Amino acid sequence: MILFLLPIPLASAMKDEGFSPLQMEALKGAKYVGSESCGACHEKEVKEFQTSTHARVSVPGEGMQIQDCEMCHGPAGLHMDAGGGKGNILNPTKDVETCFQCHTDKKMEFSQPFHHPVLEGKMNCTSCHSAHGTDVRAWSATTLKGVNETCFDCHKEQRGPFVFEHEAVREGCMTCHQVHGSMHSKMLVARDNNLCLRCHTQMNFPVIGKQSHAGRLPQATCFTAGCHTAVHGSNFDDHLRY
C-alpha cells in the first residue's frame, strides 16, 4: 500500500475544487464506510479494480485511511444505507475534479494554451484513461500501439493506413505531442525543427536523407507547407511532402 499524502484533506478539497452543490448536498453527512461490500452489487468494477495502480494508493482522512472506491466516489455511507441507487454517491463521469484532488499538476497541464478540452467539459480523463482497469493508461508498458488506438477513436485521419508510413508514428503519438496540453500549437513537444532533428540528424548534417538542407532549414520548419506536411504518413509521396 502506497501512502499518498494529500496537500489538503479530502472534504475541503471537494469544496475548494468546485464539486457541484448538488453533489456536496448529496454527500452531506455521509460517512466513509470502506469498500469491502461494494462487490456484492458491483462485481465488474471490483474485479477490474483489483490490479489497478490505484488499488495500491490510499489517503489519510477523518481518523482512517481512505482507499479503493471511496477515494474517487467519496464517502459511500448514504449509498450503502439506501441499498444503492443514483445521486447519493459521487459519479465522476462529468467531474474531473475527482482526479485533480491528487493529480494537481494535471490541472496545470490542461490549462496550457493548447490542450484537449477537458476543463471545458467536452471530454474527460476517461476518454483516454480507464477508471477501474489494470492499465489506468489504456495501453501497456510494453507496447505503444494501444495508445495510438486510443487516439484513433477520435482522430481517424491519422490512422492511415498510408502507402508511405512515417516510422516515427509507430513509436507513439507522444513522440511529437504533449497530449494533456502544451504551450505550442497542435500540442507539439517543440514548435521548431528540433521536433524532427531529434531523430533526423546525420553525421553529414545538414544533409538529411540524401539532400543538403543547408538552405532550407533556416527558412521554415520541416513541416511547413511545401516541405514535409504529411508528417503522419502519405499516400502520394515517399518524402512525406503531401
| Binding residues among 182-221 for ligand HEC as defined by CB under 6 A | 186-188, 195-196, 198-200, 209
Cβ neighbours around 42 below 10 Å, total? 16
Our finding on whether 179 is near ligand HEC (CB under 6 A) is yes
Residue among 14, 19, 35, 233 that touches ligand HEC (CB under 6 A): 35
Sole window of 11-19, 68-76, 212-220 interacting with ligand HEC (rule: CB under 6 A): 68-76
What element of type H or E holds 73? Answer: helix 69-73
Please check whether residue 234 is in contact with residue 164, taking contact to mean a CB–CB distance below 8 angstroms: yes
| Residue 82, φ and ψ in degrees, nearest 5 | -85, -5
Q: Which residue has 507539439 as its cell numbers?
A: 188
Give the amino acid at 169.
V
Among 13, 23, 30, 68, binds ligand HEC (CB under 6 A): 68
Contact status: 150 vs ligand HEC (CB under 6 A):
yes
31 touches ligand HEC by CB under 6 A: no
CA distance 116 to 187: 9
Q: Does 49 bind ligand HEC (CB under 6 A)?
A: yes
Question: Would strands 114-115 and 181-182 be described as parallel, antiparallel, or unpaired?
Answer: antiparallel
Binding residue for ligand HEC (CB under 6 A) from 11, 24, 190, 231? 231
Looking up cell 502544451 gives 182
Compute the least distance from the CB of residue 206 to ligand HEC, in Å: 14
Nearest to 5 by CA among 69, 72, 60: 60
Closest CA to 238 of 209, 195, 199, 201: 209
Given the rule CB under 6 A, which of 15-23, 81-89, 212-220 is the region that contacts ligand HEC?
81-89
Smallest distance, ligand HEC to C-beta of residue 174, A: 4
Question: Of residues 12, 51, 111, 127, which one binds ligand HEC by CB under 6 A?
Answer: 127
Task: Determine if 91 is a binding residue for ligand HEC (CB under 6 A).
Answer: yes
- Residues whose CB falls within 8 Å of the CB of residue 154, separated by 6 or more in sequence, listed in order: 127
Among the listed residues 8, 108, 219, 239, the single contact to ligand HEC using CB under 6 A: 239
Residue 128 found at the interface with ligand HEC (CB under 6 A):
yes
Q: Which is nearer to ligand HEC, 27 or 131 (CB)?
A: 131
